[in-house]
Amino acid sequence: MSYEDEKNRVKTPKEKKMFEYICYCDKVTKGDIVVAIMGGAKTLQDIMKVTGAMAHSNCAVNNPTGKCCGNDIKEIIEIYS
Ligand code: FES
């Protein structure tokens, strides 16, 4: 099943949130980050290494908030750890 097929399959708002980009620069979703945490990632550096997040930072252009995703990733680590 392709990423788009899987994305279209989900129904609940909570499921849909897992397909939202957190790191827009490297197209890393909330789900990618949660899976990394479930796999043992504990720090921002772990998430960067496992998912590739923050590897090609150009946040002012790519992220709709204009900010880097680092704090958003840290919040997800706190919630799911
Ligand atoms: S949004 Fe993650 S590095 Fe830019």
pLDDT at 13: 86
**Domain extents in the chain:** 3-80
DSSP 8-state symbol, 39: T
Q: What is the pLDDT of residue 10?
A: 74
pLDDT of residue 28: 98
Mean pLDDT by 10 residues, the chain (81 residues): 76 88 98 97 98 97 97 98 92
Per CATH, which fold does 3-80 belong to? Arc Repressor Mutant, subunit A (1.10.10)
- Report how far ligand 1's centroid is from the alpha carbon of 64 (Å): 10
69 pocket-lining for ligand 1 (C-beta < 6 Å): yes
Work out which ligand 1 atom sits closest to the CA atom of 21.
1
Q: Is 51 touching ligand 1 by the criterion CB < 6 Å?
A: no
Q: In this predicted structure, what is the pLDDT of residue 76?
A: 97
If DSSP codes are grouped into helix, strand and coil, which group holds residue 25?
coil
In this prediction the pTM is: 0.89
Distances in Å between the Cα of 18 and the Cα atoms of 12, 33, 47 are: 10, 9, 15
CA–CA distance from 56 to each of 4, 26, 53, 64, 68 (Å)? 23, 6, 8, 16, 11
Q: Is the CB of 63 under 6 A from ligand 1?
A: yes
Query: Of how many residues is the chain composed?
Result: 81
Looking at residue 15, its pLDDT comes to: 85
Q: In this structure, are residues 26 and 55 in contact, taking their beta carbons and an 8 Å threshold?
A: yes
Distance 77 CA to ligand 1 centre (A): 16
pLDDT reported for residue 1: 74
